[in-house]
Amino acid sequence: MSDLGERPHVGLARRCEDAASGLHNFRDQLPGHATRITASIGKLFSISSQLLEVDNAQGDRRYAASFHLIRGDWDLLRPSLKYTLNSIFDAFAKTQTQSYQAVWEGLSRLMDREEGIDLLPRLEWYQEFLDAQFAIVTDRPAKDMRELRRVLVQLIERQEDTQRRTRRSSADISGRLCIVLKRYRSLAADLRACSINDPETKSRPSPTCADDISKVS
């Protein structure tokens, strides 16, 4: 079910602006990629403006009745844009433990090689898609949506594949961590039992699962 009537354009517009602001740190840290990062920042702010423009049109009595024409297209754009923004925000978090260069290369590898469209051309597609949607709503000549839809559908399919792999990986790590913790608790219980019967064991160091947990990745 679409949430078109709940003004989701505004929320996504704000997230685009947050993503654009966060990318300034990458541009400052990675002068060799500054041109493309700057272009991506500009595209994110443009997409934010487009989303707000569509939202404003939705509240305009001249255009409100036309929104049913783009409902299906909005249901294509929204999840794909959300996935893309989430990937950007995940990259921001990774800079706490990795270099900006490594994080940027990882983000580019995810988007370009695994999902098929790198960040900048992806944002350009979103722009074109939103331009066409706004033209439809305001009853102006619009670009043929067929190719835009085809590319977006393929992108969403790859993004959903990425999400499934991530969930499987997280579940696998959680399962291995549970095994390690169970083994640790069993060892700790055995040691406590031994210490009751053998006072000398009280002076021995307690078992730790830190080394085992460090291997779970």
Count CB atoms within 10 A of the CB of residue 51. Answer: 27
Show the domain range for 71: 4-172
User: pTM value?
Assistant: 0.74
**Based on the domain organization, do 59 and 119 belong to the same domain?**
yes
**Based on the domain organization, do 95 and 197 belong to the same domain?**
no
**Based on the domain organization, do 166 and 189 belong to the same domain?**
no
Residue 5 DSSP SS3: helix
**Based on the domain organization, do 59 and 90 belong to the same domain?**
yes
pLDDT in tens, the chain (217 residues): 344 445 778 999 999 999 999 999 999 999 999 999 999 999 999 999 999 998 888 888 888 888 888 888 988 999 999 999 999 999 999 999 999 999 999 999 999 999 999 999 999 999 999 999 999 988 888 888 899 999 999 999 999 999 988 777 554 445 554 555 566 566 556 656 666 666 555 555 555 555 555 555 5
**Based on the domain organization, do 126 and 142 belong to the same domain?**
yes
For residue 113, give the amino acid letter. Answer: R
**Based on the domain organization, do 72 and 34 belong to the same domain?**
yes
Count CB atoms within 10 A of the CB of residue 73. Answer: 18
Confidence (pLDDT) at 110: 96
Gap between the Cα atoms of 43 and 64, Å rounded: 26
Residues 6+ apart with CB under 8 A from 64: 57, 58
**Based on the domain organization, do 190 and 165 belong to the same domain?**
no
Q: Which two tokens stand for residue 84?
A: 């893309």
